[in-house]
């Protein structure tokens, strides 16, 4: 199958899993610009990265937490989203036509949303439900796979002037203060509003940050492409994103190599949708969208092969967006 036939087949797949778009399909020059960007990125990465030893295998990225809530003296390992090799190999294909079409629908839906009236001193509220998989190694050396509840409510100062209030299981906690307007790992509404709205410039900003910590020569087990995909997903899911920024983030995701579509996925709230996904080191990270509105429902990570984290097909992490909005004070609801 030649490239033109493959793209036609991908578009046919998209038409089967999605209803007709309520907005016109992107102009051909938008797709062509993205293809040129992707080819340039692949060429740049190929020149910049050293050749990996064929026998080497990257380590899984784990966040290790010492705790007593699971078992006395236990070491708890929390599965990190987007674990995998350092950097994407040159043969990783560009985003499929079906995923580009779905991401453009999401961008158009987000971009036409009426912006919230936001002023200094307010808070961005978000409520999520879901779980994270946890490996617990007890004193006797046995390892047990557990699920940790990730349901929470969070109020984040739009301008970063106040500490974030987080509510889990009815208990309120003030998170450590984030100086200034935030960053890619701890964004505020004002920080998101100041990001570039040109997709290529936005992806460069995110990838440059990813290269510093996950590029060639680092100890990262993720790699800049996967890290960029995960970062974009976090920015879209973890708070209230200005419409223009959200649209740019979806279009930036369409420039990341290896992105594809999963026709049916279920979020942590039990809602079925269609997903934009990226496979990395035996895991598939999925952003789940409502099939009719292209609204983001949530995110999950699914195992594609058996391992310590479970059997192939296991959903090891899943977070669903339940509610979000702008409020005047921490603890209020939109």
Question: What is the average pLDDT across 74-79?
Answer: 37
Lookup result for tokens 């390992």: 77
Tokens of 173: 């906690």
CA distance 333 to 321: 15
CA angle 31, 37, 38 (to 5 degrees): 90
Confidence category of residue 239, pLDDT binned at 50, 70, 90: confident
Task: Extract the tokens encoding 127.
Answer: 């409520």
Between 79 and 117, the higher pLDDT residue = 117
Give me the mean pLDDT over the 316-324 stretch. 96
pTM of this prediction exceeds 0.85: no
Q: Which residue has the higher pLDDT, 88 or 214?
A: 214
Q: How confident is the model at residue 67 (pLDDT cuts 50, 70, 90)?
A: very low
Q: With beta carbons less than 8 A apart as the criterion, state whether 49 and 87 touch.
A: yes
What confidence tens digit (pLDDT) does each residue in 271-313 have? 999 999 999 999 999 999 999 999 999 999 999 999 888 899 9
pLDDT band per the 50, 70, 90 thresholds, residue 29: low
- How far separated are the first and last CA of the chain, in Å rounded? 51
pLDDT in tens, 127-166: 999 999 988 877 777 778 888 998 999 999 999 999 999 9
Query: According to the per-residue pLDDT averaged within each range, which of 2-16, 70-84, 112-126 is highest?
Result: 112-126
Do 85 and 60 touch, CB atoms closer than 8 A? no
User: What does the pLDDT read at residue 10?
Assistant: 57
Phi/psi-derived region of residue 223, left when phi > 0, alpha when psi is between -120 and 50, beta in every other case = left
Average pLDDT over the chain reads 79
Dist. CA 169–CA 34, nearest whole Å: 44
Number of CB atoms found within 10 A of residue 297's CB:
25
**pLDDT score at 332:** 97
Once rounded to an integer, what is the mean pLDDT over residues 49-61? Answer: 32
CA 281 to CA 92: how far, in whole Å?
A: 13
Q: C-alpha 291: how far from its chain's center?
A: 18
Any idea which residue has 């984030």 for tokens?
178
Q: Give the three-state DSSP class for 227.
A: helix
Buried b (16+ CB within 10 A) or exposed e, 37-55: bbeebbeebeeebeeeeee
Coil, strand, or helix at residue 321?
strand
Residue 144 confidence (pLDDT): 80
Average pLDDT over residues 212-230: 78
- Structure tokens given for 189: 């509404």
Cα distances (angstroms) measured from residue 10 to each of 24, 60, 106, 129, 253? 18, 31, 18, 32, 18
pLDDT at 8 (0 to 100) = 61
Proportion of the chain above pLDDT 90, given as a percent: 57
Alpha-helix residue ranges (DSSP H) falling in 158-263: 189-193, 199-214, 224-237, 243-253
Provide the pLDDT for residue 198. Answer: 98
Q: Tokens in use for 78?
A: 């929390």
Cβ neighbour number for residue 234 with a 10 Å cutoff: 16
pLDDT of residue 83: 36
């Amino acid at each position: 199958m030649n490239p033109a036939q493959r793209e036609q087949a991908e578009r046919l797949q998209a038409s089967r899993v999605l209803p007709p778009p309520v907005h016109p399909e992107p102009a051909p020059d938008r797709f062509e610009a993205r293809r040129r960007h992707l080819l340039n990125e692949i060429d740049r990465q190929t020149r910049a990265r050293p050749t990996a030893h064929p026998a080497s295998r990257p380590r899984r990225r784990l966040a290790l937490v010492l705790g007593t809530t699971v078992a006395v003296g236990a070491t708890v390992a929390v599965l990190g989203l987007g674990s995998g090799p350092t950097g994407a190999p040159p043969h990783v294909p560009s985003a499929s036509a079906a995923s580009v079409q779905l991401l453009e629908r999401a961008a158009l839906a987000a971009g036409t949303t009426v912006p919230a009236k936001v002023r200094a001193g307010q808070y961005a509220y978000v409520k999520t439900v879901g779980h994270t998989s946890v490996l617990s190694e007890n004193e006797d050396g046995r390892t047990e796979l557990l699920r940790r509840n990730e349901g929470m409510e969070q109020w984040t100062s739009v301008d970063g002037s106040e500490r974030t209030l987080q509510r889990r299981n009815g208990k309120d906690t003030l998170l450590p203060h984030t100086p200034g307007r935030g960053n890619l790992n701890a964004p505020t509404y004002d920080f998101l509003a100041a990001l570039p709205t040109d997709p290529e410039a936005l992806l460069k900003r995110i990838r440059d940050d990813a290269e510093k910590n996950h590029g060639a020569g680092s100890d990262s087990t993720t790699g800049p492409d996967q890290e960029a995909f995960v970062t974009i997903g976090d920015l879209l899911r973890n708070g209230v994103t200005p419409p223009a920024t959200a649209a740019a983030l979806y279009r930036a995701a369409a420039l990341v190599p290896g992105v594809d579509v999963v026709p049916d996925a279920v979020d942590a709230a039990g809602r079925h949708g269609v997903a934009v996904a990226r496979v990395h080191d035996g895991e598939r990270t999925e952003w789940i969208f409502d099939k009719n509105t292209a609204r983001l429902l949530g995110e999950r990570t699914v195992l594609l092969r058996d391992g310590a984290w479970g059997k192939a097909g296991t959903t090891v992490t899943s977070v669903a967006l339940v509610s979000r909005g702008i409020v005047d004070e921490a603890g209020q609801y939109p």
